Amino acid sequence: MTSINLLGHDAGRLIEYFASIGEKPFRAKQVERWIHRAGVADFAAMTDLAKTLREKLIAGATVLGPRVLSDATAADGTRKWLLNVGAGNGIEAVFIPETNRGTLCVSSQAGCALDCKFCSTGKQGFNRNLTTAEIIGQLWHANRALAASGYAQLGERAVTNVVMMGMGEPLLNYEAVLPALQLMLDDNAYGLSRRRVTVSTSGIVPLIDRLGEDCPVALAVSLHAPNDRLRDELMPINRKYPLRELLAACRRYLAFAPRNFITFEYVMLAGVNDSDQHADELIRLLADVPAKVNLIPFNPFPRAGFVRSPPDRIHRFNERLNAAELLTTTRKTRGDDIDAACGQLAGQVEDRTRRADRWARANA
């Protein structure tokens, strides 16, 4: 008989599971706390459960986290795990420690189908969506690993913030991402604030609206260009959901959002999107959207075809936006020495679409 992996079961699914084995609904909260709060995978160690229930769980269920292929820590303390999700697919999760918080960057897909031109992950092609267990398993594993290394005690919050900015487009794996978000927010699991959980999207308009209705968390939009012509070139998804539709969805989302602004991510590409004219276009574009702009120095990868904007150009761009009262920050690059920086997550994903080969030939 195949064991059921309870790691990816949110509260509702756990209640259904316990009902199916003749147990009361309150057992769901008990087991949820053991799995997610305490990081316990062994049912025999769940001491406040009746012995008969523990025996049922041992016989028919499991708590199976991701298998670690590699674990690397950068000079700045950033830690990256390469995790095996089977069939030659690897995903990456990155922990970024800061003075008063610890942020985990979580992947939602093995590879990515969107082919954003400046992103290493996009060059790997797309293999498959992750399951809820594989998504929440990154957070589960990070807390356990950080506790084991003395960073934090289990029960304390090693990870205080989660950003779904790793491999893949979260909203294109909505059915698995939603219960993972709900577990992150659940007080019996990770108990994170909606303000401390961020979903980053390239702009899947119908699903931005759905997220606002189902589970409004902080929203970040990968923008990267101030006009449709350039965004079409850098991000092909813009041809389906152009800026007018995307910004309208952002305004609608604000009615539900835990923050009173949308974060817009903007990677700085020398000579491509970093001129004063681009800055002025961006100011006009976001004039009627409560916004925070996060400028991201481009992180190079082999055959990228782009160069990072010089520091003085990034500074001038930042100052121009701030002068127009558009709140703007420049992201500090972290984890460069272990390829853990923004846009570099690629893992060891087998590119069954062969996009990487086609891209390399086209740019030879």
At 88-123, the pLDDT tens digits run 888 999 999 988 889 999 999 998 889 898 888 777
pLDDT tens per residue, range 266-285: 999 999 999 999 999 999 99
319 is catalytic: no
Helix (H) or strand (E) holding 15: helix 11-20
**Residue found by looking up tokens 């390399």 in the block:** 360
Is 352 a residue whose pLDDT tops 50? no
Give me the pLDDT at residue 195, please: 97
Q: How many CB atoms lie within 10 A of CB 71?
A: 13
Distance CA 130, CA 132 (A): 7
**185 with 198: CB under 8 angstroms?**
no
What class is the 4-62 domain? Answer: mainly alpha
Q: Which of 23, 32, 92, 134 is catalytic?
A: 92
Give me the pLDDT at residue 105, please: 96
Two tokens at 263? Answer: 């974060």
CATH fold of 67-362 reads TIM Barrel (3.20.20)
92 is catalytic: yes
Averaged pLDDT for residues 314-342: 82
Percent helix, strand, coil in the chain, to 5, is: 40, 20, 40
**Domains of the chain, residue spans:** 4-62, 67-362
Q: Which of 112, 116, 250, 342 is catalytic?
A: 342
Give me the pLDDT at residue 349, please: 42
